[in-house]
Amino acid sequence: MNANGEIEILISGFGGQGIVLTGSILGKAATLHDQKHATMVQSYGPEARGGSCSSQVMISDREILYPYVERPDILITMSQEGFDKNIASLSPGGLLLWDTDLVRVDGLDPSLRAYHIPATRFAQKLGNKMMANIVMLGFLSALCDVVDADSLREAVLGSVPPKTKEANAAAFERGREYGQAIQRSRAKLQTHPEET
């Protein structure tokens, strides 16, 4: 959270992954369901599909005067380029989420809250790798409360084509369940370290 009480979120990947949709869904969840303020700024590389892409989302209880993310509190990355380009800007103690099918990380700052998920693989098993972004949103909902999980679920269902709602709901739940399992596992290790 920055000095103005705003949560800065940066979502990075490449064109065709639904990166901008992911940011839009987060903003909708915050504004339409949680009655907060939100802004979103998107950027594309020179090529639309396959080129670098990012979505910058700000969420706050107050009006947001400057919509650009400078020091993200949360970095969600779904491409190696997105990770390499943005990891240095993540706030100390910030939340890092990455897709293990697409991103390799090493030497992370130990202060970061770092979590990974095979989002693309999960989406493929559910029938469409294009839902990896929705898997990632479900994962996010289990790991932090930047927006209410039910609000995020509703925003997902309100943002996808009607024929795909059931599949996207399953993708969201798969990511959420995976995140909850990781949380339980880490909590168990903290309370019973002798079992490691």
Helix (H) or strand (E) holding 143: helix 132-143
Q: Read off the pLDDT band of 191 (50, 70, 90).
A: confident
Residue of 191, 141, 134 lying closest to 166 (CA atoms): 134
pTM, whole model, 2 decimals?
0.92
pLDDT of residue 85: 94
**Would you give the distance in Å from CA 152 to the centre of its chain?**
11
Give Cα 181 distance to the centre of its chain. Answer: 17
Could you report the per-residue pLDDT of 95-139, keeping only the tens digit for each? 999 999 999 998 899 999 999 999 999 999 999 999 999 999 999
The answer to whether 148 and 29 have CB atoms below 8 angstroms apart is yes
Looking up tokens 């915050």 gives 30
Burial of residue 111 (CB within 10 Å: 0-12, 13-18, 19+) is exposed
Given 3.40.50.920, 3.40.50.300, 3.40.190.10, 3.40.920.10, which CATH number is that of 7-195?
3.40.920.10
pLDDT in tens, 128-170: 999 999 999 999 999 999 999 999 999 999 999 999 999 999 9
> Percentages helix, strand, coil for the chain, rounded to the nearest 5?
45, 20, 35
- What is the pLDDT, as a whole number, of residue 49? 58
